[in-house]
Chain A
Amino acid sequence: MIPAAFDYHSPQSLDEALSLLKQHGGDAKILAGGQSLIPAMRFRLAVPAILIDINRLDDLRYVEERGDHLAIGAMTREHSLEDSSAVRSSYALLYDTAVVVADPLVRNQATVGGNIAHADPANDHPATMLAYGATVVAKGPNGERTIGIDDFFTGLFENAMTDDEILTEIRIPKPAAHTGGAYTKLERKVGDYAISAAAVQLRLDGDTVAAARIGLTNVSPVPMRAKAAEAELVGKSISDAVIEAAGKAAAAECDPSPDLRGGVDYKRDVTRVMVKRSIQKAVARAKGGK
């Protein structure tokens, strides 16, 4: 189907984009990779009067380590994460995630900023950024502010940014020593959204879990952290029983809806398994394994 008519702007700078956004307020939408927005417009689920295409803002495309964090420009394409040596060497959870987002063609267009800004619980990056404890940078007419990821997702397709703000950067804390992470996703086929997926980032002190954060994909109306599962891990010496308890806690605290991908009980059980597998992998990586 063909989207409804709209006015199109292609600003050449972030300032120009911000002033267009201010001028048009709630009538305008940002067009990033378009891989969520254009399909929604084709089904007329989204009918924006104005599109502000930020694809010319090459300044927003970078993946670089800066001091204590990894900075990712909002317009970085998914495929660039796969190619980044920093991501490959030190951000295993992010790498695991990047290679299972959609399919290779979609990843050539889709952006990391768009994936997070869209605040779709079916998207893979929200859970991963929750597990990392990432920070989102938003720029508006009154300058720049940072939003902690725990405060970012406010509803289905809703985030904490105002209509006149643009997401410019995502910051991921540099993992401390003895930290490991992993993303495990069950999908019906390549290119599909998760039936359920789990992002785990944890730090070990010997065999004891010193810190852990867990994010879940597509099993709740809003991207969620599995805090009960985290509580089963932190302070405990890692064992099969502890990992099973964390998986069970996640299965109980998630809130999936029945759909084509399965019923509620099935999705809860898949969540248990995804959480367990991610913890096992994260622990192995924290100990220096692959």
Chain B
Amino acid sequence: MSEHEVTLTINGESVTRSVEARTLLVHFIREDLSLTGTHIGCDTTSCGACTVLMNGKPVKSCTVFAVQAEGAAVETIEGVAAGGELHPLQEGFWEKHGLQCGYCTPGMIMTAKNFLAQNPNPTEDEIRRGISGNLCRCTGYNKIVEAIQYAAEKLQADAGGE
């Protein structure tokens, strides 16, 4: 069994902790860093509730070891509202009722954030494919798609306005 010192940035802030090699990134984030916005919804790498951005890419943090994040920039839902102001995605989920219980929401937002960075002007079909690794048991997805469309339009308008 090996113990390792890990240094990474979490939502822009550098942290160093000692972790057991077998510690999963999601447990490190929730238990060692006390950032409980990242959820755990399954044992089988199926649901995406644990999605975080690792060096900009959405990954299932229940299927990465914390030691593997050495030197990485990790972003969680707690880092999305810059300066306390809701991100257009968060606003979209609010305005379009993109959540019911909210369990899947942090993962959905992290996936959608990277997705919109890659596809600023997506079709509905592209959005549905983009979030197909994140499961929602409540909404039936339609409202989530509308929330992401809302954010895409807002981000486009903001970018165009500059």
Nearest chain A residue, comparing its CB with the CB of B131 = A104
B98 within 8 A of A: no
Rounded to whole angstroms, the CA-CA distance of A106 and B51 in the bound complex is: 10
Contact of B68 with A by CB under 8 A: yes
Q: How far is the CB of B117 from chain A (nearest CB, A)?
A: 13
Given A4-B22, A35-B45, also A104-B1 (CB < 8 A)? no
A1-B43, A51-B21 known; A105-B134 Cβ under 8 A: yes
Known A-B contacts A34-B65, A55-B68; the reply to A190 vs B4 at CB < 8 A is: no
Sorting the interface of chain B by its residue count into under 10, 10 to 19, 20 to 34 or 35 or more gives 20 to 34
In the complex, B20 has a CB within 8 A of chain A:
yes
Question: What is the CB-to-nearest-CB distance from A164 to chain B, in angstroms, rounded to a whole number?
Answer: 21
Contact check, B64 vs A38: say whether CB atoms are below 8 A apart: yes
User: Can you list, as one digit per residue, whether each of A88-116 has a CB less than 8 Å from chain B (1) or not (0)?
Assistant: 00000000000000111110110000000
A191: chain B residues within 8 A (beta carbon)? 46, 132-133
A29 to chain B, nearest CB (A): 13
A104 touches B130 (CB 8 A): yes
Q: Is A255 an interface residue (CB 8 A)?
A: no
Q: In the complex the two chains form, is B59's CB within 8 Å of A109's CB?
A: yes
**Alpha-carbon gap, A34 to B45, bound state (A):** 11
- The distance in angstroms between the C-alpha atoms of A276 and B29, with both chains bound, is 48
Q: Count chain A residues whose beta carbon lies closer than 8 angstroms to a beta carbon of B.
A: 29
Is B143 close to A, CB under 8 A? no
CB-CB under 8 A from A39, the residues of chain B are 44-45, 63
Min Cβ gap A185→B in Å is 14
Distance (whole angstroms) from the CB of A208 to the closest CB of chain B: 38
Contact for A38 among B2, B20, B65, CB less than 8 A: B65
What is the CA–CA distance of A7 and B20 in the complex, to the nearest angstrom? 9
A253 at the B interface (CB under 8 A): no
* B residues less than 8 Å from A38 (CB atoms): 24, 45, 63-65
Q: How far is the CB of A196 from chain B (nearest CB, A)?
A: 21
Q: Mark B58-88, 1 if CB is under 8 A from A, else 0.
A: 1110011101101000000000000000000
Identify the B interface with A (CB < 8 A): 1-2, 4, 20-22, 24, 27, 43-46, 48, 51, 57-60, 63-65, 67-68, 70, 111, 129-130, 132-134
Which of A's residues lie within 8 Å of B, judged by CB?
1-8, 10, 31, 34-35, 38-39, 41-43, 51, 53, 55, 102-106, 108-109, 190-191
